[in-house]
Amino acid sequence: MALSRDMSMEQAVEMVETLLDGPESRFPLSFNSDLPRIRELFHTATRSQWDPQKDIDWDKLDPDAYTQEQRDAARLYWSRRAWSEYGAISESPALQVRFGVEKRPSDMQLFFTIRSQEEARHAEVCHAMAERLGGYVEKPVEELFQGSVSTHGVRRAALSADIPLEGIIAALVCTAEEIAFDVFKHLDRVTRDPVAKQIVRFIMRDESRHCAFGWYFLEAICDTLDNEQKKMIEDSVVTMMEKVELNGYHSAWLAPPNPASNAEVEADRITYEAGLGATVEEAEKPVFIATVQRIRDQMRPLGINLPPFSHPKLGTI
């Protein structure tokens, strides 16, 4: 690839009002642990680091044990997982910037430093799996599907002073990451290939902390919020559900039916049947519904009341 500045010059830009538009004012600078449960997550993550190169038993993966069709489907599935994890590397750091600008408890910044590293490990391991199954695929098979997997808008929201941080965390972490975590638990049950299963477990272990971060934060902050602020949180969660999750960001079968998403769904089915890591609509549907119901139940005591959600394939949850 040529490294040419002309390439950058062609790229579109946009003018955005952000919370970085004013002068920086970092003092007083405190590193007190105001959210000790989140500080402990940072310390646990520090103790629990793993390395995709060394800690995965790659020699237990036998691609030849699978048909060409299964390998092709699985490499697309693991590539898609890599795109999804990359989304967190690309967008979530904006939240860390915001924690600093808004002088949120330092525990949040510290934890997010290692969270981003974990997302990098996840992207790395998913890419490595795709490579071993025949080669990483660097974009969706059909362009139509890019809309479902390209972004969930975290960066823009995180940099906007008009969108409350509480809503972003409720939507991104307590909703989207909870769904992802439950899917990983489900994948752990249905995946038979030992290496695929090992990868799922390593990622799941990290994701459990990511989810805990969100709930610890919400539980700490919700008592200080008024009804209007809680309504804004509800709106953020609804947007995440309707525009991102129910649009197929994590689960291809939820994406609007078109040739592109159909191809992804078919690849997932072949991968699932081979035990290489994916799942399918009929197996995941009850998991997805239970997760949404659990999220609703968990938010209710915090004063956040989620409405019913509808999707042609799920009915009303």
HSE-CB for 258 with a 13 A CA cutoff: 13
**Do residues 238 and 244 touch, judged by C-beta distance below 8 A?**
no
Show contacts with another protein in window 126-145 (CB under 8 A).
127, 131, 136, 138-140
Question: Given the rule CB under 8 A, which of 85-93, 179-187, 220-228, 297-305 is the region that contacts another protein?
Answer: 85-93
Residue 223, number of CB atoms within 10 A of its CB: 8
Q: Which is nearer to another protein, 74 or 110 (CB)?
A: 110
What's the CA gap between 121 and 104, in Å, rounded?
A: 26
Shortest separation between residue 63's beta carbon and another protein, angstroms? 18
* 113's tokens: 């430093």
The residue from 142, 144, 150, 208 that contacts another protein (CB under 8 A) is 150
Shortest separation between residue 72's beta carbon and another protein, angstroms? 18
Q: Which is nearer to another protein, 25 or 224 (CB)?
A: 25
What's the CA gap between 118 and 102, in Å, rounded?
A: 24
DSSP string, 80-127: HHHHHHHHHHHHTHHHHHHHHHTT--HHHHHHHHHHHHHHHHHHHHHH
User: If binding is defined by CB under 8 A, does position 11 make contact with another protein?
Assistant: yes
Question: Given the rule CB under 8 A, which of 89-97, 202-210, 217-225, 270-278 is the region that contacts another protein?
Answer: 89-97
**Do residues 110 and 42 touch, judged by C-beta distance below 8 A?**
yes
**Reduced to 3 states, what is the DSSP secondary structure of residue 315?**
strand
Q: H or E segment at 201?
A: helix 194-221
Shortest separation between residue 311's beta carbon and another protein, angstroms? 25
Show contacts with another protein in window 287-306 (CB under 8 A).
none
Q: Name residues whose C-beta falls within 8 Å of residue 282's C-beta, 6 or more positions apart in sequence.
A: none
Q: Which is nearer to another protein, 82 or 170 (CB)?
A: 82
User: If binding is defined by CB under 8 A, does position 162 make contact with another protein?
Assistant: no
What's the CA gap between 51 and 29, in Å, rounded?
A: 33
Show contacts with another protein in window 23-62 (CB under 8 A).
23-31, 42-43, 46-47, 49, 51, 53-54
Question: Given the rule CB under 8 A, which of 2-10, 197-205, 242-250, 278-286 is the region that contacts another protein?
Answer: 2-10
What's the CA gap between 62 and 71, in Å, rounded?
A: 11
Shortest separation between residue 92's beta carbon and another protein, angstroms? 8
Query: Residue length, the chain?
Result: 317
User: If binding is defined by CB under 8 A, does position 258 make contact with another protein?
Assistant: no
Q: Tell me, residue by residue from 94 to 123, as one string, x for binding to another protein by CB under 8 A and - for no binding.
A: x-xx--xx-------xx-xxx-xx-xxx-x
Shortest separation between residue 216's beta carbon and another protein, angstroms? 18
What's the CA gap between 77 and 62, in Å, rounded?
A: 17
Shortest separation between residue 202's beta carbon and another protein, angstroms? 13
Shortest separation between residue 121's beta carbon and another protein, angstroms? 8
User: If binding is defined by CB under 8 A, does position 93 make contact with another protein?
Assistant: yes
* Residues 169-208: b if buried by 16+ CB within 10 A, e if exposed: bbbbbbbbbbbbbbbbebbeebbebebbbbbbebbbebbb
Shortest separation between residue 56's beta carbon and another protein, angstroms? 13
